[in-house]
Amino acid sequence: MKTLISPSILASDFAKLGDEVRAIDEAGADMVHLDIMDGHFVPNLTVGPDVVKALRPYSAKTFDVHLMIMPNPGIVASFAEAGADIISVHPEADPNIHRSLQNIRSLGKKSGVAINPGTPLEALEPLYELADLILVMSVNPGFGGQKFIPASLGRIRSIRERIDQLGLDTIIEVDGGINDETAPSVIEAGAHALVAGTAVFRSPHGSYRKAIDNLRLSGSA
């Protein structure tokens, strides 16, 4: 499977978000990753459905929306209506995650489960059949620019093995500390998609296209 690159706009220039989304689209990104934080589940505050809706005309690529909030049917529907294509929710924040995943699919969107570094993988067991994507957090969520947690590799391998056992085609996406150095081991462990914020928007390569190409090449090495 081709390695998918999903630049996180959390690391972009918020004064020109539309232009930044268009730029990563034109630079070859496969998806646009949008981190939604409410200042409660994680110690940061970002954007809501209205911003997602405003950004939608700037790219036809998949909008990969990561809800770091306590979701409810109304807010999930708002993001779906705003143009999200994939909506990922956290078991740590959602006591009704089974219903939330069903709701996401009923809205015609792909469902994702995001899991924090300190959460036992057993939390995923009741959810595999309802998830189109598993988002493995390789840092503690809430801020960009953090260092990759090496223990994440074992977690990715375990999730990959379980997905294969179940005969599913679930995408494994990894978010946190992804760069040219960490991407190869993450892909080797079984991931399909890489979320990269700092590695794209603040890349030393000089352009978004070079940054995205480098990540994809390093992830395929």
> The domain spanning residue 137 has which CATH number?
3.20.20.70
* Structure-token pair, residue 47: 């954007």
d(CA 206, CA 160): 34
Residues that constitute the known binding site for substrate: 8, 66, 142-145, 175-177, 197-198
Distance of CA 22 to the CA centre of its chain: 18
Q: What is the reported pLDDT for 132?
A: 98
Per the listing, tokens 């074992």 go with 154
Which structure tokens are listed for 82?
Answer: 């705003």
Average pLDDT in the 105-125 region?
97
**pLDDT for 144 beyond 70:** no
pLDDT-derived band at 35 (thresholds 50, 70, 90) equals: very high
Provide the sign of the torsion angle of the four alpha carbons 66, 69, 70, 75, taken in this order.
negative
Q: Which domain holds residue 99?
A: 4-219
Annotated catalytic residues are 35, 175
Known binding-site residues equal 8, 33, 35, 66, 142-145, 175-177, 197-198
Q: What is the percentage of the chain residues whose pLDDT exceeds 70?
A: 96
Dihedral sign from CA coordinates of 36, 27, 3, 83:
positive
Interatomic CA distance for residues 184 and 188, integer angstroms: 6
3-state secondary structure of 131: coil
Considering its fold, how many domains does the chain have in total?
Answer: 1
pLDDT tens-digit map of 175-218: 999 999 999 999 999 999 999 999 999 988 789 999 999 999 87
The rounded mean pLDDT for the chain is 94
CA distance linking residue 77 with residue 135, whole number of Å: 20
Q: How far apart are the first and last CA of the chain?
A: 13
Lowest average pLDDT, out of 13-27, 57-71, 141-155, goes to 141-155
